Structure 1
């Protein structure tokens, strides 16, 4: 029995009272209808004068329409259900805004194509005759739609599950096929491995047999090695005995050689003493005055240019060898004179720097060599590239530049020819013409690399 049904045995006044109570009772609205009612009321609330609104709704009316429904929804719903006058004021505006649908609702009609939620919200606000039926019908339609949506969702879920199950079945079938293929492959591999194991076992047995044979051979070889070691030790003892005898004989020979050398040293000393006394007598007989100039100085004065005068003395003659030790031996001879082909040396050793730096480096190096050996040193450069204002040469180093029309090679040969026969003259050059020329005049030529290695050692 609905709220509008009255029992037949009820008193007429009681029936009227019951009907009024039923009309005053607010129906339970579905949530979509309730939200739509609040949204319609909030949308038209801004057009109602503030003095016609309850105090709690005046602040809500100042919000934007979307914020009214969101922030003031509970307050609006409470006043709509408890304030008929407010509901009537708002309903008039809502129905006017709804147009034809609002007019149909006022007449108690619900167009078939109309949204049930919209119909229920308008009927709730306008409350025409039969509005509860409109609300109930719309509520039932909303519930039916919700239940249909739930059913459709369930159907879709079932369909998705079926699709996933079908997909899983297909995947499982593919995986099963793959596993069968993999199993067949593994079986083939296992068969191959069994064959390989049989082959390896056979090879292992053969290797073990060979190992036993090799072990036997090793034992035999060890025996032979032990016997050979014993023979070797015996031979070693015999050799040691012979070595001791040889050392004894060598000691006797060394003593004999020492005695013979002592006799030779005495004879040599006597010969040198005789030569020295003869030289003193010859110097006294010739009455030679001491001189402060050397043969190379005369050549320098007449056939060469030099940035500054330099003095030095040396002499010696050596073997034709490129070992720096041979250069030291030659320069240690009395009155040795070393003549250096300047650019031939620097361009082999310092070609990456400028000519000025090459000259300075070479002159500084031979200056250190003069300080060690006390030999006379002359460095010759081609005059075509002469540079004025060179720094002073080190003590004992003579620096010369060939004059115009003459090369350094010619100046070197002139210096060699000026020296007396018998004086040790060392010429540093890798120029074949220079080497051949000075060798014919009794000089000892050494390659440029010999001097470069000697300077590097310093």
Structure 2
């Protein structure tokens, strides 16, 4: 451990050196930023300048024992006395961090002398160091001792020893007091100078940091501009691609529109051709029909055939029971569909045969038989008038039953000596093959028989549903 690393004991420091240290520390404290002031000296910093070194001597001396505050005061002293700091370092043969941070390489004072030659002995260096210490003691022993103590240089005890008076001290004269005041003022100014230089150093460091930050920001800005330029180029490329795709889509749309227009023209031509063909077919069919009608009329005239006065149903004998040809049952649409009845009755010379009581007892079971017959016959008369079909309604009769009114277009028959079901069977068998005969009944036995004879069978509910739509 060197002398510079040893912490000076408070009792070893002469009173004059201690007072000088406290005064300089008070001056440095006055110029410090509030954030840098130790917690134990914040109240002392608020003291008046004249009272700060006296009233705050204890706290100031205590904080000088701490490395942080002592280093701050030492830097301020080194910046206020740069030449003396260099001479102290040279005299002690060592240099602290505070001394290295204040002197430039080309600011070495002439008092330090020439650099020792490489071949010089240790004795010459010791003699030269002793001479330098004597020169420091002769110049300003109190200031030199203050700096040596703050910088932890090993020469401070030797410099402090010269401050102790060998005999009784004479009372200070006016020139002495004036000298002390001037010396104190000079120390204060030096302290302020040191603090100012320290602030300058901190400001330069901050400026260097700001310059580095500025360079970084400029680099970021350049990089951002480059990225923006590339993004602009990419956006332009995407825009060009989108424009090309839009142009291609428009071209395809125009081609599709042209194709659609051509297809519409072709369909129009096809529809016109189809219409002409349909008109031609209708004309041919009508001409053929007229030819057939004229031929039939000519054949009737040639054969001298009289007009038809009776229908097959009028010629059915009461006792006739001859089996007719057997055909398959009902064909076409669903038998429950009322539109099927309309479709069948629109056929040429269609004949509708109705099982009277089977229908009326399904529709109006609470009415009397006369009312049931009257209501059904009236409804069938309206249907016959609308469709032009032949309509026959069969009821079960009794011997001696008188004639009933016959509405126009409806033939009303009563079975005599037989049930109405057998009458319906004979009516169907009397019709020529190929004529459309529609039988309305809910009797399954009758339905099977008449279907075998070629009639179309519909249930009673189908007729009732059709009559309700009238």
TM range (shorter): 0.3 to 0.5
Higher relative contact order (CA 8 A, sep 6+): 2
Q: Provide TM-score, normalisation by structure 1.
A: 0.41
* Higher alpha-carbon Rg: 2
